[in-house]
């Protein structure tokens, strides 16, 4: 069974802690601090892998945690960085990241970093200065990004077969390709998309049998709404219409219903080239099939229907009509030839009309000057003050506040960041409590 969605937990590795160490060697007095830095935590990356076809593996494993960085050691030994966790996904996977950003992995080899590892802490050797020659503190490593993300697979098919339930799509793809979906004479026989391949002399096309749609599918009704996403990657749609609907419904009404649902789901899909395949021709006389073809040609290729300029052959009608029968093979070769001739070529390395031949295969971090401070001062309920923001949170999480030297360093950093000045502007007085990351501080503005 095709698995086309997953909800998983990802966690970047924690950074390694810096080391507090002093050089101790015979005949070397006052060796000084030599604690090394901690290693960087590993990232969680997703790689587009052409050997995969669905997201089934994510049903067996839900948590993906990257390894942490090694702690620093004495003699200025830096901890090893964690080895990035690379998670393969099939082409066509769409990932909604931790920050809500959507990433499309379409080209094999393309990768994206979803959860970054935490940076390693600095060893005490990095804090030695002329006035602090023997620092007895080091930084802790920061935790990596973590959270739940969503994966959705949108098949990279060239042609999508659409239509109401039991219109003959599964029978048609069975006869036109080597696909073997389940075929039966009742609605909703197809419970998952089926793929088939048409081979030509110079090109190959992938057909997708999209499970039957009903009215309201774009709003979540029936089964088809779960698979409408698979139509998004197609470059042409074949609307399969039953000449003799088994339930006695009106073919015109069926056609309009499906087209309306496609347009409601994504207006772009309404502009895709179409082919109308009138199926089950073996159940009507040739005269009835010819009459139905003439009626549909007048309806679809009338004066109000624009001719699609992107089609290669200018003599093709706006919506070609092919009469088919999966039982007898009528029209199958004609449909194959039509698709091989008219399906628009995909740009080299591109999908959905976007050329991805020059798409980067790796993330590159761009460093820019910080424009605004990432912390703020607030009044607390008990007439004290509270400092909030990522900048001060990172500072406090890196240091052991039980260590007196470490605490002094934190206070000096807060002063350089402008926290004390901002508190005074808010009316801070000596003796007032200041809460930062759940810790109460007593600052002396004159200190």
Two tokens, residue 166: 């039991």
Residues 198 and 283 in one domain: yes
Residue 18 included in any domain: yes
Residue 263 included in any domain: yes
Residues 137 and 83 in one domain: yes
Residue 134 included in any domain: yes
Residue 355 included in any domain: no
Residue 238 included in any domain: yes
- 180 alpha carbon, distance to own chain's centre: 30
Residues 428 and 338 in one domain: no
Residue 396 belongs to a domain with what CATH number? Answer: 3.30.300.350
Residues 11 and 32 in one domain: yes
Residue 83 belongs to a domain with what CATH number? Answer: 2.70.210.12
Counting Cα atoms < 13 Å in the Cβ hemisphere of 263 gives 8
Mean pLDDT by 10 residues, the chain (447 residues): 80 95 78 92 94 84 95 93 94 90 89 94 92 91 95 83 83 78 46 74 82 56 57 86 81 87 82 90 91 89 46 59 91 91 68 48 54 75 80 88 88 86 81 79 68
Residues 15 and 54 in one domain: yes
Residues 317 and 220 in one domain: yes
Residues 318 and 234 in one domain: yes
Model pLDDT, residue 307: 40
Model pLDDT, residue 434: 83
CA 127 vs CA 122, 218, 417: distances in Å: 8, 60, 17
* Dist. CA 43–CA 116, nearest whole Å: 4
- Residue 222: give the domain boundaries: 159-342
Residue 352 included in any domain: no
Tens digits of residue pLDDT in 185-228: 444 444 466 778 888 888 888 888 877 565 554 544 444 455 67
Residues 93 and 190 in one domain: no
* Dist. CA 294–CA 253, nearest whole Å: 17
The count of structural domains within the chain is 3
Residue 367 included in any domain: no
Residues 281 and 254 in one domain: yes
- Helices 404-417 and 390-397: angle between axes, nearest 10 degrees: 160
Q: Which of 291, 317, 342 lies at the terminal end of a domain, its last residue?
A: 342
Counting Cα atoms < 13 Å in the Cβ hemisphere of 221 gives 8
Residues 60 and 181 in one domain: no
Model pLDDT, residue 422: 85
Q: Which of 295, 320, 342 lies at the terminal end of a domain, its last residue?
A: 342
Q: H or E segment at 253?
A: helix 251-265
Q: Which of 130, 153, 176 lies at the terminal end of a domain, its last residue?
A: 153
Model pLDDT, residue 371: 52
Residue 446 included in any domain: no
- Sheet of 44-48, strands arranged across: 85-89, 44-48, 111-115
Two tokens, residue 221: 């009704």
Of 185, 167, 331, 308, nearest in space to 241 by CA: 167
- 158 alpha carbon, distance to own chain's centre: 21
Residue 188 belongs to a domain with what CATH number? Answer: 3.40.50.300
Residues 253 and 143 in one domain: no
Residues 228 and 81 in one domain: no
Model pLDDT, residue 149: 95
This prediction has a pTM of: 0.69
């Amino acid at each position: 069974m095709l698995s086309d969605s997953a909800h998983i937990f990802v966690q970047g590795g924690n950074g390694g802690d810096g080391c507090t160490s002093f050089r101790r060697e015979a005949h070397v007095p006052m060796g000084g601090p030599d604690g090394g830095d901690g290693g960087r935590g590993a990232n969680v990356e997703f790689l587009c892998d052409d050997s995969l076809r669905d997201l089934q593996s994510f049903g067996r494993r839900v948590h993906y945690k990257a390894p942490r960085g090694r702690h620093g050691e004495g003699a200025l030994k830096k901890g090893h960085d964690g080895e990035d966790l690379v998670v393969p996904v099939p082409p066509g996977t769409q990932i909604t990241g931790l920050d809500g950003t959507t990433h499309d992995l379409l080209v094999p080899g393309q990768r994206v970093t979803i959860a970054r590892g935490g940076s390693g802490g600095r060893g005490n050797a990095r804090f030695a200065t002329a006035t602090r020659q023997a620092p007895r503190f080091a930084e802790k490593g920061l935790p990596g990004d973590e959270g739940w993300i969503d994966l959705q697979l949108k098949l990279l098919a060239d042609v999508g077969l659409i239509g109401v339930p039991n219109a003959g799509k599964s029978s048609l793809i069975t006869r036109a390709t080597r696909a073997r979906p389940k075929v039966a004479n009742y609605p909703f026989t197809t419970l998952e998309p089926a793929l088939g391949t048409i081979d030509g002399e110079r090109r190959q096309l992938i057909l997708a049998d999209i499970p039957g749609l009903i009215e309201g599918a774009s709003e979540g009704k029936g089964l088809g709404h779960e698979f409408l996403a698979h139509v998004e990657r197609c470059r042409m749609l074949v609307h399969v219409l039953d000449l003799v609907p088994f339930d006695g419904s009106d073919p015109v009404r069926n056609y309009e219903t499906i087209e309306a649902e496609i347009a409601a789901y994504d207006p772009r899909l309404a502009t895709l080239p179409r082919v109308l395949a009138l199926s089950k021709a073996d159940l009507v006389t040739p005269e009835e099939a010819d009459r139905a073809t003439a009626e549909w040609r007048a309806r679809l290729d009338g004066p109000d229907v624009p001719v699609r300029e992107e089609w290669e052959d200018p003599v093709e009608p706006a919506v070609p009509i092919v009469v088919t029968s999966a039982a007898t093979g009528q029209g199958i070769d004609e449909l194959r030839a039509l698709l091989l001739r008219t399906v628009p070529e995909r740009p080299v390395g591109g999908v959905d009309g976007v050329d991805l031949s020059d798409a980067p295969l790796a993330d590159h971090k761009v460093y820019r000057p910080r424009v605004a401070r990432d912390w703020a001062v607030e009044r607390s309920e008990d007439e004290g003050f509270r400092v909030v923001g990522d900048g001060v949170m990172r500072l406090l999480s890196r240091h052991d506040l039980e260590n007196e030297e470490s605490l002094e360093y934190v206070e000096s950093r807060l002063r350089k960041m402008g926290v004390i000045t901002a508190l005074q502007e808010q009316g801070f007085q000596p003796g007032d409590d200041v809460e930062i990351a759940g810790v109460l501080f007593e600052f002396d503005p004159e200190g």
